[in-house]
Amino acid sequence: MDRLVNTVRPYAWGSTTAIPDLLGTAPTGEPQAELWMGAHPGAPSRTGRGALNELIAADPVRELGERAVEKFGPRLPFLLKLLAAGAPLSLQVHPDLEQAKAGYAAEEAAGIPVDAPHRTYKDANHKPELICALTPFDGLCGFRAPAEAADLIAALGVDSLKPYVDLLHAHPEEAALREVLTALLTADRDEMAHTVAEAAAAAGRLGGDHAPFASLAHHYPGDPGVIAAMLLNRVRLQPGEALYLGAGVPHAYLDGLGVEIMANSDNVLRCGLTPKHVDVPELLRIVRFEPNESAVLRPEASPSGEEVYETPIDEFRLSRFVRAEGAAPNDLTTPTPQILLAVAGRPRAGETVLGPGDSVFVPAGEPTELTGAGTVFRATVVA
């Protein structure tokens, strides 16, 4: 197996302390938002044999196994991260696989550089994802029932928001949500900035369920995404709980540290809470305007002690082992590639001791035994 040296991404919304605290390193004073583990070309993990993406490209069957290569092609199909939100992330959705392929092909044909700020599709892959909380984790995910959103917005007492409240009481619900989000994202920016300021002041006075939106407005003053966020369910995860996000589901992470795994893609369509490009027509085509409560996932334990977070896709499979001192070894040998990430204790993968934040890549078929006390997340694929 290969011990991984991983890159920290310093996005502005990142916590300055959460990842250093886990790793046992001194904070730099700069945000440390994500620690990437995998073979994504934007920040591939490094090993003693070279960059992980280059190792896989040189001999994909050896590193990934025949089954994974046959199913997903000659690339690691997932990206594993530590994600540390110290401020809200952008309100966003991800396309499904067909949408990603079509969107990428269209932008390629149009000659839009892949790094252009107005480019929407960076690759031809979808981006389902799963976030598992290591600390209490706060987020927004999926549409509320429109009547519930209407009550939340109406309680602000802002006159310019009354037309949105009326729209949210219309039927069918999907059409009401679409009409309100469209109106918010296409409204006059100066008028909307004034509305958001009024709404933020009211949310600050009301507190309670309105408090998160006052905080959003503090970070993104005047952004219509502050009002759009009120259409979404608020989700609070406790350590060990997780949230799965499929295509078209609007979401934003607000605060907390978690282990995130996703299909190996960088396709994001933003709805707000960002200074970056918002492609409103494409966004409205991708969003699924379906009110639903976001189901909190809890791991399902197997007789071996492996706790699996069940999801409906095959590009990744996330599980964890919470091991006590003296527990019987766990045999992790599998015909698919693995990344093991320790988050507590000092367990051992084979002869490699893993402290919090340490990770290893295990090529397909390599005999691997987990021993010692600690908590280890295991990322692999279903193939």
Cβ within 8 Å of residue 43, ≥6 positions away: 6, 7, 9, 36
Q: How far is CA 69 from the centre of its chain?
A: 25
CB 285 within 8 A of CB 47: no
Tokens of 94: 């991800």
Torsion of CA 169, 175, 178, 183, to 10 degrees: -60
Residue 8 pairs with which residues in a beta bridge? 35
Q: How far apart are CA 153 and CA 213, in angstroms?
A: 11
CB 52 within 8 A of CB 39: yes
Residue 17: strand, helix, or coil: coil
CB 318 within 8 A of CB 260: no
Answer yes or no: 236 catalytic: no
Which residue out of 75, 270, 323, 348 is catalytically annotated? 270
Q: Which residues are identified as catalytic? A: 270
